[in-house]
């Protein structure tokens, strides 16, 4: 199972959370960034519907797969404080 870590960090003139090197919007304070990270982590664990998906890989080949709606990652929030 995939494990996703949301990290709350100082960013620009405030705070943000980061996942795999991507930053959220900047929040004015630590509390708001932490709450947003907790919400995003919780939402990512919510099961969805099983659906057919199509995607193109790095070599230009198209693939069709069934994406299970219950195949959700484990998530956690790390606080830099």
| Digit-coded pLDDT (tens) for 26-81 | 999 999 999 999 999 999 999 999 999 999 999 999 999 998 888 889 999 999 88
Which H or E run contains 42?
helix 30-44
Asked if pLDDT for residue 22 goes beyond 90, the answer is yes
40 in Cβ contact with 76 (< 8 Å): no
* pLDDT(1) > 80: no
d(CA 14, CA 23): 12
CB 27 within 8 A of CB 18: no
Q: How many domains are contained in the chain?
A: 1
Q: Give the residue numbers spanning the domain of 56.
A: 3-79
- The 8-class DSSP code of residue 68 comes to P
Helix (H) or strand (E) holding 41: helix 30-44
pLDDT score, position 69: 86
Q: Is the pTM of this model over 0.95?
A: no
């Amino acid at each position: 199972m995939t494990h996703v870590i949301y990290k709350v960090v100082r960013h620009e003139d405030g705070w943000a959370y980061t996942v795999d090197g991507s930053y959220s919007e900047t929040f004015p304070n630590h509390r708001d960034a932490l709450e947003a990270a907790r919400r995003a982590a919780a939402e990512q664990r919510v099961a969805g519907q099983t659906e057919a998906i199509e995607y193109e890989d790095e070599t230009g080949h198209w693939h069709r797969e069934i994406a299970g709606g219950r195949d959700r990652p484990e998530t956690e929030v790390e606080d830099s404080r």
